[in-house]
Amino acid sequence: MGSRRPDRRGFLKGSAALAGGLTVGAVEPALGQTPAPGGFIKGSDERVAYGERSRFVTSVRIAHGGRPSPDEFGLDFHIATPLQDSVGVITPSSLHYVGTTRGSFVPDIDPREHRLMIHGMVDRPLTFTMEDLKRLPSVTRMHFIECAGNRSRRQQTSIQETHGMTSCAEWTGVLLSVLLKEAGVKDRGTWIVAEGVEEVKGASSIPMAKAMDDCLVCYGMNGEAVRPQQGFPLRLLVPGFEGIFATKYLRRVKVVDRYYMTYNDYGHLRRDPEGAALGYQIGPKSVITFPSAGQQLPGRGFYEVSGLAWSGGGAVGRVEVSTDGGRRWMDAEIRGTAHRMAHTRFSFQWNWDGTETELLSRCTDELGQVQPTRAQIAEFFNAPGVPGQDNSIQPWRIASDGSVHNAIA
């Protein structure tokens, strides 16, 4: 009752319209079936135990920032995720970007021995085992993490080099607010300092308001345990804040009454302390992943432009795309649900006529913040004593031969 029969004429009309938008030569004519496979994969204990990807899938991370990873001593520094190969919004755990471990080796931690201490200005200092934490009410949320140094530069020749220091995962753990409330925060406790287990102690000062809002103490990532490079067995996630606040190998949270300048705040030393901490929310940002620098378009015709948008200010509200260097902007389609402080996939249907042009995207978040141009960012970067992030619009130049290049002059 109430159902409608498919409209065959409408379907055929829509199919014809789509076909008309696909320029002849963009796809091969249908001449036959897919050939038989070149062979078959024999089962093994390893494939049964954990599985593996196809040998034809070769997407890998790369060292980032001009420093080798690993170096001659076996230290990992910055490692960038291959955004150019991404589909959807979730970054596989094995391809998630890695921020620096502050010049120390990745700790090899037995989770049965690991402890998390909540102390300082609290009524009841508490120590949690991993078993204790997993008995508490859990939440699972999708959030991005991004390094503050993730930005476009003229000499970078691929999106992995320009924007590969951000990833998005599904995180599982306990809200930090649950642990703080259990310990009983004193009235004067307005900040926390979170510290991890590392040779060079990583610590971050975070406002209590943020700690009580949405910070997560994570033991799960994409449906399995957090990986060692991501902070196994426990990582603090601070949604929307600069990645260095997401303390790995979390071992203690101290409630304090003021902002403390920690090792993680070396880049803030020229700023007043409160501004240093509060000024590191990631601004609205987007980047086109296809087509992007280093890729090749086979010829003129129809393409689905695709990319990622995100913001530390909340959910992505709107994404616009320009196919003519920024002279005109058109709304892109947001794919799926735009989660708060998470990567959001967008797409735009484009017929390329074969002439040289520039593709750009810009994001507006739920707060109304709009991704700035490079000229607008330069006003702040060129001002004395104002470091910070570059979330400016990234232009990709499409040459007439279909090659794609970084268009930053």
The CA-atom distances, in angstroms, between 173 and each of 94, 154, 158 are 20, 39, 34
DSSP state of 80: E
Q: Cα separation of 221 and 93, whole Å?
A: 7
Domain check: are 269 and 142 in the same one? yes
CB 191 within 8 A of CB 206: yes
What is the structure's pLDDT at 149? Answer: 84
Mark whether 172 and 267 lie in a shared domain.
yes
Residues 297 and 153 both lie in one domain: no
- Domain-embedded: residue 305: yes
Distances (CA, A) of 36 to 32, 144, 169: 12, 41, 36
Number of domains in the chain: 2
Whether residues 295 and 193 fall in one domain: no
Q: In terms of residue numbers, what domain contains 233?
A: 115-278
Is residue 97 one of the residues assigned to a domain? no
Is residue 82 assigned to a domain? no
Phi/psi region, residue 8 (left: phi>0; alpha: psi -120 to 50; beta: rest), is alpha
256 neighbors 120 (Cβ within 8 angstroms): yes
Same structural domain, 302 and 212:
no
Residue 383 zone, left/alpha/beta (φ > 0; ψ -120 to 50; rest): beta
Q: Locate tokens 């593709």: which residue?
A: 359
CATH classification of the domain holding 133? 3.90.420.10
The pLDDT value given to residue 333: 98
Task: Give the N- to C-terminal CA distance of the chain in Å, as an integer.
Answer: 62
C-alpha span between 199 and 176 (Å, rounded): 24
Together in a domain, 255 and 139? yes
Report the half-sphere exposure of 331 (CA within 13 A, side-chain side). Answer: 6
Is 13 inside a domain boundary? no
Whether residue 332 sits in one domain with residue 185: no
Distance CA 268, CA 385 (A): 9
Q: Which long-range contacts (CB under 8 A, 24 or more apart) does 366-375 make?
A: 366/311, 366/313, 366/314, 366/315, 366/316, 366/317, 366/340, 367/311, 367/313, 367/314, 368/317, 369/283, 369/284, 369/311, 369/313, 370/284, 371/283, 371/284, 371/285, 371/286, 372/283, 373/326, 374/152, 374/408
Tell me which of 278, 298, 314 is where a domain ends: 278
Specify whether 176 is located in the same domain as 239: yes
Contacts of 152 (CB under 8 A, 6+ apart): 162, 163, 374, 390, 392, 394, 406, 408
379 and 309 both lie in a single domain:
yes
Same domain, 315 and 265: no
Whether 31 is in a domain gets the answer no
Residue 132 lies in a domain: yes
Residues of the chain short of pLDDT 70, as ranges, are 1-28, 30, 100-103, 263-279, 380-388
Q: Rounded to an integer, what distance in angstroms lies between the CA atom of residue 336 and that of residue 331?
A: 15
Contacts by 180-185, CB closer than 8 A, 24 or more apart: 180/118, 180/122, 180/211, 180/212, 180/253, 180/255, 182/118, 182/124, 182/126, 183/118, 183/119, 183/122, 183/123, 183/124, 183/125, 183/126, 183/255, 184/122, 184/123, 184/124, 185/121, 185/122, 185/123, 185/255
pLDDT tens-place string over residues 3-41: 344 454 554 444 444 545 565 455 667 677 778 888 888
Domain boundary among 261, 278, 295: 278
- Looking at residue 34, its pLDDT comes to 78
What phi and psi, each to the nearest 5 degrees, are found at residue 304?
Answer: -95, 110
Residue 299 lies in a domain: yes
At 12 the pLDDT is 44
User: How far, in Å, CA of 78 to CA of 149, rounded?
Assistant: 10
HSE (side-chain half, CA atoms, 13 Å) at 94: 7
CATH number at residue 398: 2.60.40.650
Give the model's pLDDT for residue 376: 87
DSSP 10-73: HHHHHHHHHHHHS-TTSS----SPPPPPS--PPP-HHHHHT----TT-----EE-TTS-SS-TT
- Looking at the domain assignment, is residue 307 inside a domain? yes
User: Do 167 and 219 belong together in one domain?
Assistant: yes
Q: Is residue 328 domain-shared with residue 378, that is, in the same domain?
A: yes
* Final residue before a domain boundary, out of 227, 245, 278: 278
The string of DSSP letters for 239-293 reads TTB-GGGS-SSEEEEEEESS----GGGGGGTTS-HHHHHHT-BPPPEEEEEES-T
Kindly tell me the number of DSSP H helices and DSSP E strands found in the chain.
8, 21
